[in-house]
Amino acid sequence: MQSVKIKSALISVYYKDRLEPLVELLKQHGVTIYSTGGTQTFLEEQGAEVVAVEDLTDYPSIFGGRVKTLHPKVFGGILHRRDNDSDISEREKFEIPPIDLVVVDLYPFEETVASGASEADVIEKIDIGGISLIRAAAKNFKDVLIVSSREQYDEVVELLQAKDGATDLEDRKRFAAKAFNVSSHYDTHIFNYMNANGETQALKISVQDSTPLRYGENPHQQGTFYGKLEDLFEQLNGKQLSYNNLVDVDAAVALGAEFEEPAVAILKHTNACGCATGETMKEAYLNALSSDPVSAFGGVIIANRTIDMAVAEELNKLFFEVLIAPDYDADALDLLKTKKNRILLKQKQVELPKKQVKTLLNGFVEQDKDLATETEADFKTATKRMPTTEEKKALVFAAKVCKHTKSNTIVLATDKMMFSSGVGQTSRVDALRQAIEKANSFGFDLSKTVMASDAFFPFPDCVEIADKAGIKAVVQPGGSIKDQDSIDYCDAHGMAMVMTGVRHFKH
């Protein structure tokens, strides 16, 4: 197992917290400690005897601290091979002391970028000496233990306590892997910052935080979430979010962001089965639920206002998986918590990524998120009849829901409520027929609704079917070589059609 007793250590860290137990342990084992600057001062305050790196190298820290540890006596002490006669001879010739342990905590580059700091401040947080120490020690893991993050301090203390200040080859290799994870993550974020204009075509993603899920989309599939859910949500109740929960929550957050007025949406398999606005959250919820109370069972619900007792009493009558809201009144929260597995999320206002990435074939595809949302100002009336004021409002509402529904899709709605939708169909005609049949099954009067389509009509059959169902206003992107056929039908039957010029496919 090639056990190595730690006799010397180089410590150079940005954050000093959580380091005390490790320092105390090194003191107990009589380890020679090398350090620089603020770290040296901290260690000496902890009662440790420290050899300044400047004394080791006979060279001062220069260029405002940019060059401190970059010296052959430091890197030679780390990189020389203990079982190589030539390396040993050179080490002795140049009086290079061995270094058995390297402890580094890098400059906080990500945190500095996130703070909105100036470019000059960000650049100064690109660690050079630290990242070099990490890579050198990790490369020579056969002889050297590398501790590359303060997140590892507790683990290394336990390890050294259990093995009386020594490490095995397996231990050192494990920590080397952690080190290359730290260094590659660090470099990824530097690259993405420097390449913000996208001039260099490369996909680099690195996320350190991970949460194992109970399983993936199905029980026979493994699943893991990479990211910090706690940055976006505070979970107030319920079991761990599942893979499918997370997919639906993502879709819910995207749809919920479309509305400024009080709104509630209910989603199943990423599609809205109910969506409505109202004067109160109770009104919005009850209208959303009435769209399809059957599909709402086991759904994910998002609200964009505080959940009060009035709406909580209604919500409590339904079995649902997840509820997302910006806040909850205390009594409403107490009521909703009576179901222990019910997941209650308090949504925080944070900026979400503007890019989407997914695996595809033997690679990945990346695209901008679909952040286009059409308003009345984007409508271009293609027919003789202009939509009424009420119809325009309804067309805006329907188009918002349609944008977040699986293609091919048709959405039927008023200005405050989705009546039904046809989702994920292989033809637009099938999507429309599904939407009409569903609306009819719940007794809705379709003469009060408008129709939204995520893409153009290749033939006039959809507007004809809609007309016969009582629908008199339509919004679609346009762009078909046969647009005029649909326009002519609408003109002949008193229908209004507006075009947006923006397609919203969602696969």
Domains along the chain? 4-195 (3.40.50.1380), 226-347 (3.40.140.20), 380-499 (3.40.140.20)
Record the tokens describing residue 426, joined without a space. Answer: 């292989």
Give me the residue label for tokens 């470099």: 187
pLDDT-flagged residues of the chain (< 70): 1
Task: List the strands of the sheet with 473-476, edge to edge.
Answer: 380-381, 496-499, 473-476, 450-453, 410-413, 418-422
Give me the residue label for tokens 């305050």: 45
Catalytic residues: 139, 269
Using alpha carbons, select from 38, 31, 21, 49 the residue that is nearest to residue 98.
31
- Residues 412/471, Cβ–Cβ less than 8 Å: yes
Helix (H), strand (E) at residue 224: strand 224-226
CA distances from 29 to 6, 20, 224, 338 (A): 8, 15, 40, 54
- SS3 sequence of 128-195: CHHHHHHHHHHHCCCCCEEECCHHHHHHHHHHHHHCCCEECHHHHHHHHHHHHHHHHHHHHHHHHHHC
Give me the residue label for tokens 């997914």: 358
The whole-number pLDDT of residue 70 equals: 86
The CB density around residue 60, as the number of other CB atoms within 10 Å, is: 10
| Rounded Cα gap, residues 47 and 24, in angstroms | 9
What is the overall mean pLDDT for the chain? 95
The whole-number pLDDT of residue 58 equals: 83
b/e per residue 42-55 (b: at least 16 CB within 10 A): bbeeeebebeebee
The whole-number pLDDT of residue 88 equals: 92
Pair type for strands 271-277 and 263-268: antiparallel
| Rounded Cα gap, residues 141 and 168, in angstroms | 10
Give me the residue label for tokens 């805006």: 396
Record the tokens describing residue 447, joined without a space. Answer: 């003469």
CA distances from 502 to 283, 370, 375, 379, 403 (A): 32, 10, 12, 10, 10
The whole-number pLDDT of residue 457 equals: 96
Record the tokens describing residue 64, joined without a space. Answer: 């405002």
The whole-number pLDDT of residue 1 equals: 58
Give me the residue label for tokens 């494990």: 174
The whole-number pLDDT of residue 131 equals: 96
Q: What is the DSSP letter of 504?
A: -
The gap from C-alpha 160 to its chain's centroid, in whole angstroms, comes to 36
